[in-house]
Structure 1
């Protein structure tokens, strides 16, 4: 477990790892492309390691250049194993990204239902509708699902998503890649993680055009082959969590390695609370020693709309807001089980948070927290609890590190580099 105690304001400079949420679809895109891909800045968290293992088990060759621990080369092979054991896919949510590549290589995808954090149902009905648009068939069972590739077809695939699902958007894009068919996708998800996939495909010759209401994808000229080099963008959620920790302690620090535009909604929220922050080209800077609390209510509403607040920013913002004046509203209908995890753990620290719906809550600050034993029941709950522990009186112990490490290789180490009084202890 992790022990956290309050200390001096966090200061200094730290660099985030590659983004787990971006690495997963990029690895799946590398497999779907059918060409050698050199992918850099891969984070060393548990979920990404499982994804790499699944690719190897499904017949791709994964090579790591000597001395480059964050780089992998994904190579297509002739392996057409018919009896695949992909049971580890049940441990991660992003396993569904592998379906298009499996269809292209094996003609079918048999996978257990996705797992990962318990923050709501892993609905895949929209994924199946995407595959139906390409002519693929699907069947669902109690323990998993099966998608079977259709006979080769031609022509543009057109469909409109009923909501901006990141998973369904990636599924449509990667299925277009594996079939070589043009795609017109209405109401796409245009989060930074999806845009990083589109940028990667563009470097491989695909023509991509994306607006708020339409994503258009066209295949490259026939015969375009050869290796491509991609890079996983910096982890915007890790950067946002560190920023909230810096702000909570009244510190001034710089978080490097993240695209500034990816954290703009988080910066807007901090400024709304009176905390000076700025998004640079490749960094996020926080100057909380100059903070001037505004007493203004923060409305942190998770959104799938372009430019909206990513749901994963909400938990650390909630931990920060507990120490700031004002009555603040939080809502996350995207992950309906998240508040059920987070709020009881914050309550153990003495937080008083009013649940106004299953996915919405309200709190009034500032509140004084007291250290206690809490549990990282999911990745983002764990990171938010560390932010809260930095201001709670006494010692806060955070258990469930296996959850935290699914999304972060070493978030406690980055906080420690900024001066946090934090260490790993044996229960």
Structure 2
């Protein structure tokens, strides 16, 4: 076990290049199962969740080859196994993204319940509904068994009961290898969903409505290999912007997709953090005085996450940490996951003024001078929020269970040190109850 030891108070300044989108890389890796030809992927983040997905593919019989940097070549031509290993599958929630490709290519899939962050109930029903709409039989027990009819999956016109990101991705993956035209309504449209759709087009599928909530997929009976570069991670970009803001540093984030950042920059500006776009680069000026903008009439403003293009739920924890250093009050409404805000007790321990109203809402009053403490990271995004708090806190903070942070942020300690952070990774030999 390892931990981070952080001495706060140093401004984070300089230039950073964002890693590839974790939530884009995982479904795109799953898409390699749709063809028996080579697929070469670039800008793949070297993180634990990606390692887990590659291990899953290898366990099914795929050949996986890393080359220089973040490039990986995957060939699933030798895959014949359709039962996903339980231990590997329970490491990450994205393991369930293998269901759609296995079902479409082989006519069957046996999946363990997926793992992932414990941030509240995360339904699998939208996945099952999509597979049933395509004609599959679904059995839910200790394992989940999906079986296509004798003639294979059939195209459909399907309305999702919620715009689930992973269920939309699973539906896209299955429909791309189902001949005919399928329509997915109330689809998720997050940047990583769009990136997956662009990659499936390179493989031979035809997809219309990318970026909207109605997607029309004309699938093929055979898809081919391709080369694809994973888009930059807008969640990581938002995290670095917040890190600069709370430490007073001047930061430039290179090679972003400006369209993916519009809501993030708007919400951050309401919390007093200004940024500018210079081409595709985001520039965060240094020494900003963060002041929360009240709503008209002096009312306390609310920041609420939601399906794209609303604020991404994965940035809610980061927003909470940023708000602790901004002057004024703000209501944070975590609309999607009822356990996302549980981690705020760690920030309260450090001195933050946060009142939990109910499982979905918190009031943050700032600014508060935070103090270094010993804390544990319960999930990826809470871990980043604790890093943000630690880097602007007075004194030393120790963050345990950092494997959670490593699941989503590539070499985060090395990259933060390059920006001026005082952070070290050491062995954690403490005894936990």
TM-score by length of 2: 0.91
Counterparts of 2:78 and 2:11, CA distance in 1: 55
Counterparts of 1:206 and 1:79, CA distance in 2: 21
Equivalent in the alignment of 1:70: 70
Q: Is 2:240 the partner of 1:238?
A: no
Equivalent in the alignment of 1:405: 406
Query: By how many angstroms is 1:119 displaced?
Result: 0.8
Equivalent in the alignment of 2:297: none
Match of 1:325 among 324, 327, 330: 327
Residues 151-190 of structure 1: pairs in structure 2 closer than 5 A: 151-153=150-152, 156-190=155-189
Counterparts of 2:363 and 2:168, CA distance in 1: 32
Match of 1:40 among 42, 46, 60: 42
Equivalent in the alignment of 2:144: 145
Q: Is 2:267 the partner of 1:266?
A: no
Contact 1:80 1:105 in 2 (8 A): no
TM-score by length of 1: 0.93
Name the SS of the counterpart of 2:264 in structure 1: helix
Equivalent in the alignment of 1:131: 131
Name the SS of the counterpart of 1:423 in structure 2: strand
Query: By how many angstroms is 1:395 displaced?
Result: 0.9
Counterparts of 1:83 and 1:300, CA distance in 2: 42
Counterparts of 2:131 and 2:219, CA distance in 1: 18
Question: What is the root-mean-square deviation in Å for CA atoms of aligned residues?
Answer: 2.0
Equivalent in the alignment of 1:209: 208
Residues 28-427 of structure 1: pairs in structure 2 closer than 5 A: 28-65=30-67, 68-81=68-81, 85-141=85-141, 143-153=142-152, 156-210=155-209, 212-219=212-219, 226-291=224-289, 293-296=291-294, 297-304=300-307, 306-340=308-342, 342-427=343-428
Against the structure 1 CA distance between its residues 350 and 84, is the aligned structure 2 distance closer, same or farther, given a 3 Å change threshold? closer
Counterparts of 2:237 and 2:397, CA distance in 1: 22
Against the structure 1 CA distance between its residues 279 and 200, is the aligned structure 2 distance closer, same or farther, given a 3 Å change threshold? farther
Against the structure 1 CA distance between its residues 81 and 207, is the aligned structure 2 distance closer, same or farther, given a 3 Å change threshold? closer
Contact 2:45 2:410 in 1 (8 A): yes
Counterparts of 1:292 and 1:81, CA distance in 2: 54
Map Cα deviations across residues 332-384 of structure 1 (whole Å, 9 max, x no partner): 232221112x1111121122211112111111111121111011111111110
Contact 1:259 1:281 in 2 (8 A): no
Contact 1:269 1:298 in 2 (8 A): no
Equivalent in the alignment of 1:17: 19
Counterparts of 1:207 and 1:85, CA distance in 2: 32
Contact 1:277 1:284 in 2 (8 A): yes
